[in-house]
A and B are shown apart, each in its own frame.
Chain A
Amino acid sequence: MIDPSKPDLEESVNVTEAHDRVVRGAAAAARENKIKENGAEPVSLTVMVLCAIPLLSAGWALGNAGTLFSYKDTVKDGYVRVIPADDEAGGPPPKDALAAYMAKGAKLYSKCSGCHGPDGKGDGNAYPSLAGSAWVTGETERLAMVILNGLSGPASTGKTYGVMPAQGAGMKGEDLGALMTYIRNSFGNKTGDVVTKQMGAAGLEISNARPKVGTAVTGEELAADHTKNLPGDALDPKTMLDPITLEPAEAK
């Protein structure tokens, strides 16, 4: 506002002129109020009572926090509810044995479908078909050995595909049983029987007891040692099972 050529001129604004100009050009700025000094009302009791509500609630939340600044406790007990075991509607409804094993096996098959294909047909070149395979639908111990240890050399049709890697790592008896039940009853295969989890567990034991444990099986070894069914009691495919535990469920 100060004209540099007139540093001593105190009144740099021609009031009348400025007023006219401002009112004409900047009416909005001209009609503004000035901001007043702050008021000094005390904080009322109502405000304090209102603020007590969030304070108490925050205390409630902090009370749930466990040890503050403890970076080791990463799981808060009780936040994720555990469904009580005796809850009458707890758990999913029972299914017949074949369906229960099939459902579990279908999930596990996703690991196999990369090579054998979602339709189980393989590609006829590097990966053999599971559909209609004599080893898939035939004796269960032979199939279990192939799944658990992999296979080198000719497959059931006599044709040699690539080497199948072992799939047994981390498998439990019920996984093996469910997977075998699934591939024996899918892609057009229809044995109609259930490979139970007890049979699967037996398969794992037999596999671990092999003389050449840790290597892929070959057609000769299968023919010599494993052309039989896994030991264990057969399960009626119509038995009602709990789909999670695969244990028999009482009929409702």
Chain B
Amino acid sequence: MSQASTTNPAADAARRAEIDRSLRHPVMFFFTSGAAWLAVAILLGIISSAKVHSPGFLDGVSWLTYGRVQPAHMSALIYGWGCQAAFGMLVWLMARLSRQECRAAGLILTAGHVWNLAVSIGLFGILAGKGTGIPWMEFPSFAWVPMLVSYAAIAIWSMIQFKVRPEGHVFISQWYNLAALIWFPWVFVTAHFLIHGFSGSPLMAAAVNAWYRSALVFLFFIPTALAAAYYLIPKVTGRPVYSYTLSLLGFWSLAVIAPWAGMQKLAGAPIPAFLPYLGAAATILIAIPAIAVSVNLLKTAASAWDTVVNSPSLRFTVAGVIGLLVLGFAATFLNVPAILPLSQFSLSGYGFDILALYGVFSFIAFGMIYFVVPRITRREWLSSRLIKIHFFLSVYGLLTVALVAVFGGIMQGQAQEDYKQPWENAMEYAYPYAVASTLSWCFLLLSNVFFFLHLALMWLRLGRRSSHPTLLGHAHHDDLHDATHGPEGDIDNAGPGSAPAHSH
């Protein structure tokens, strides 16, 4: 096979460029429309969060009542942003690592439009009051079929690419990538089929739904993020992954543990009594893959810390990996038997979900987007300042949302347990945390509006024409100007050796 890696760097680079080019339209579509959905999701998040502490906010607008806007917020976040960003990442990464051009870009793009249409209709359905009332499965029940079909049309090509990859090494990223591609339909079909397809016990439907919420995070979003992190960190730093043993431990422990997790959300409900505790134990054990993977990746990144600080991709990715470590500890802390009754009916569950979806998955997705977009558009990011704003506002916003929800939730749970006090007391405990979480959603909105604008400019091919990457170091730091890249700000140069646009 001519695609097998050659020893010729120029031919390799040309091959990479061809693969990138073949995926330009679908991947750019997934990232851009995902980013737009993210902004919508955060806007809905602000509204729903504001209603927690100020019930009078927008109370005259029936389609923005809490019961609609909260599920719309989560659905836009998960299916509008999360899944689409994940598809873009998985499709691009699998093509690159299997060294195959995409031969079905048009079909993937069409399927992406169908997915978007299903998400839009579903979201209007929720806001119009036609939601199913089943968390994370709120879209009117017909929506899951077109979503599944378009998923199949998107994902099948990556599986084929893996099948026909050049022989030899399978990258760690590919383990996670293929796992995510296979686990998503398993989790999605199981939950939707059991809940929408059968009229079984509604109690078990609730249990299946609890499992689905956990499985979607741990068997799709986390593996997708880890596929990207295991690619980006060794790739950008140029260092080998720290320990192959830890990689194996991290992957297989996740694969064995994660499917058991989830039903702890129904502790105390009259389902078979061992299920919630089994779910709690499995969720606690999620800390093991989290520790193995994050230690492995952080050790790898720490060997080239300057690169981590300067590269937008790595900054976001490493932040996401640190988020994974925090997620592991939160999984343990929130689900031990002493804490479970406190976290079960409070803000904590939401905080944990946001930590996983934003703190881990989205950060790594941003890292991947900052890496991939210059390659497929052949333009460099316009402004390191916009990237820095995106990074810092995201970090501050996320820290506040997640920590406030997790620990505020524990305070709230403790107040709820105090049966001698009226229920309002528990709400008063949660009040300052709810206000803080609205404020931090505002930070996140601001941060992602900048991100979306930046990405949209790149999508319009208005990025910098330069061979110099946009780095985050000090603008005129001499160390950044090496022989390969020329001085920063060297707009529209023709690569090394051409006359500089201005003297530095």
Pair from one complex = yes
Residues of A whose CB lies within 8 Å of any CB of B are 1-2, 12-13, 15, 18-44, 47, 50-51, 53-55, 57-62, 64-76, 79-81, 83, 89
Question: Is the Cβ of B267 less than 8 Å from the Cβ of A79?
Answer: yes
- B267 neighbours in A (Cβ, 8 Å): 76, 79
Question: Is the Cβ of B14 less than 8 Å from the Cβ of A21?
Answer: yes
Residues of B whose CB lies within 8 Å of any CB of A are 2-3, 8, 10-17, 20-21, 171-172, 231, 234-247, 249, 267-268, 270-274, 276-278, 280-282, 284-288, 291-292, 295, 299-300, 328, 331-332, 335-337, 340-341, 374-375, 378, 380, 419-420, 466-469, 484-485, 494-496
22 sampled A-B residue pairs with Cβ under 8 A: A1-B2, A1-B15, A18-B10, A21-B14, A22-B13, A22-B17, A25-B17, A26-B21, A27-B467, A28-B374, A31-B485, A32-B13, A36-B234, A38-B172, A47-B246, A47-B291, A50-B291, A61-B284, A61-B340, A66-B273, A73-B274, A74-B272
Question: Is the Cβ of B236 less than 8 Å from the Cβ of A1?
Answer: no
The CA of A53 and the CA of B291, in the complex, are separated in Å by 11
- B332 neighbours in A (Cβ, 8 Å): 53-54, 57
Q: Given known contacts A27-B495, A57-B336, is B274 in contact with A69 (CB within 8 Å)? A: yes
The CA of A39 and the CA of B81, in the complex, are separated in Å by 34
Looking at chain B's contact residues, the main secondary structure is helix
- A75 neighbours in B (Cβ, 8 Å): 270, 273
Q: Given known contacts A13-B14, A61-B280, A74-B273, is B238 in contact with A33 (CB within 8 Å)? A: yes
The CA of A61 and the CA of B335, in the complex, are separated in Å by 8
- Give the total number of A-B pairs whose CB atoms are below 8 A apart: 197
Question: Is the Cβ of B2 less than 8 Å from the Cβ of A39?
Answer: no
- B249 neighbours in A (Cβ, 8 Å): 43
The CA of A20 and the CA of B237, in the complex, are separated in Å by 25
The CA of A132 and the CA of B469, in the complex, are separated in Å by 87
- B374 neighbours in A (Cβ, 8 Å): 28
Residue of B nearest to A40 (CB): B244
- A69 neighbours in B (Cβ, 8 Å): 274
Question: Is the Cβ of B14 less than 8 Å from the Cβ of A74?
Answer: no
Q: Tell me the smallest distance from the CB of A13 to a CB of chain B, in Å.
A: 4
Question: Is the Cβ of A2 less than 8 Å from the Cβ of B2?
Answer: yes
The CA of A25 and the CA of B465, in the complex, are separated in Å by 9
The CA of A2 and the CA of B6, in the complex, are separated in Å by 13
Leading 6 A-B pairs by shortest Cβ distance: A65-B277, A26-B17, A27-B467, A54-B287, A33-B238, A41-B243
